[in-house]
């Protein structure tokens, strides 16, 4: 048995659209997890034309297909930049250093898988050399905003006993603050090196990238006595792909095209609360 999930922006999901899809796929009873925002129905057979169906409703809703069993996960593993927060921290630091346009171009290409992540990170951090360490606090206070739905996602899953880990190719100076704000149990990221109160333009080794995110998944699940199947992972960049495909439920959130093409679950119209809907939580269950 499978679940067809439809998620849209609040008050935009048309009941007629949901009913038409349900009837066309021979689905069972429609369940509205949030009126006008999220609905789902079971189907006995997975539709063969899933990509065509997705494309046909893409301007109105995110359509995803999920196994009916084991939907509520015991662990959340999340990327930070453009996932749990709405910015890329290194881009914001680069703006303060006066090299924003150059760094943003490298970031976009790296996240789309066009550049080697480690090389791209090293190049970008090098452009921050000499920046006062105090700029980090300025960026955190003035430029960084949480992705909508994040606090509800964490609070709801944790009330159900889930563990939450923030694993980023960004920097510990940011992940520590975001983890504390949102309620993550632990965070892992790269460490910017500082000397005499200024950034040296270097990152401590080893660099946490694509492989390290999978390593975190395997280490944390082993420690908790669960399996990767028990994990819902979320990210947006190419360095998240291995983590997303290894987890039991991997969600590409507002992701780069190359990432969406390789990830089974995609959210483009909803926010982080969509991860609760994908697990079968109704809005009334949100903490």
Listing DSSP states for 96-108 in one string gives HHT-HHHHHHHHH
In the residue annotation, 79 being an active-site residue is answered as yes
Residue 203 pairs with which residues in a beta bridge? Answer: 192
Strands in 191-274 per DSSP E: 192-195, 198-203, 231-235, 249-253, 265-267
Task: Say how far apart CA 29 and CA 230 lie, in whole Å.
Answer: 27
- The single-letter DSSP state of residue 169 is E
- The single-letter DSSP state of residue 118 is H
Task: Say how far apart CA 284 and CA 287 lie, in whole Å.
Answer: 8
Pick the catalytic residue from 29, 51, 79, 142. 79
Give the tokens for residue 63.
């359509």
Task: Say how far apart CA 84 and CA 159 lie, in whole Å.
Answer: 19
Listing DSSP states for 254-285 in one string gives S--HHHHTT-SEEESSS-TTHHHHHTT--GGG
Pick the catalytic residue from 81, 230, 240, 242. 81
Give the tokens for residue 170.
């960004």
- Residue 137: CB partners within 8 Å, gap ≥ 6? none
User: What is the set of active-site residues?
Assistant: 79, 81
């Amino acid at each position: 048995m499978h679940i067809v999930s439809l998620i849209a922006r609040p008050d935009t999901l048309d009941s007629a659209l949901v009913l038409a899809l349900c009837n066309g796929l021979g689905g069972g009873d429609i369940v509205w997890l949030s009126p006008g925002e999220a609905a789902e129905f079971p189907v006995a057979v997975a539709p063969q034309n899933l990509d065509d169906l997705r494309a046909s409703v893409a301007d109105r809703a995110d359509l995803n297909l999920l196994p009916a069993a084991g939907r509520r996960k015991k662990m959340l593993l999340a990327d930070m930049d453009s996932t749990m927060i709405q910015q890329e921290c290194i881009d914001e630091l680069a703006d303060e250093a006066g090299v924003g346009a150059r760094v943003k171009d490298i970031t976009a290409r790296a996240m789309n898988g066009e550049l080697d992540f480690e090389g791209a990170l090293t190049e970008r951090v090098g452009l921050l050399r000499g920046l006062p360490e105090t700029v980090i606090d300025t960026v955190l206070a003035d430029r960084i905003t949480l992705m909508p739905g994040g606090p509800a996602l964490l609070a709801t899953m944790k009330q159900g006993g889930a563990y939450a880990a923030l694993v980023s190719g960004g920097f510990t100076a940011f992940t520590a603050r975001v983890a504390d704000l949102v309620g993550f149990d632990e965070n892992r990221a790269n460490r910017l090196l500082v000397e005499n109160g200024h950034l040296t333009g270097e990152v401590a080794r080893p660099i946490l990238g694509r492989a390290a995110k999978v390593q975190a998944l395997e280490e944390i699940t082993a420690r908790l006595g669960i399996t990767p199947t028990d994990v819902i992972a979320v990210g947006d960049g190419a360095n998240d792909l291995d983590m997303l495909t290894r987890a039991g439920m991997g969600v590409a959130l507002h992701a780069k095209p190359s990432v969406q093409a390789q990830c089974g679950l995609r959210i483009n119209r909803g926010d982080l609360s969509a991860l609760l809907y994908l697990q079968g939580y109704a809005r009334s269950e949100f903490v």
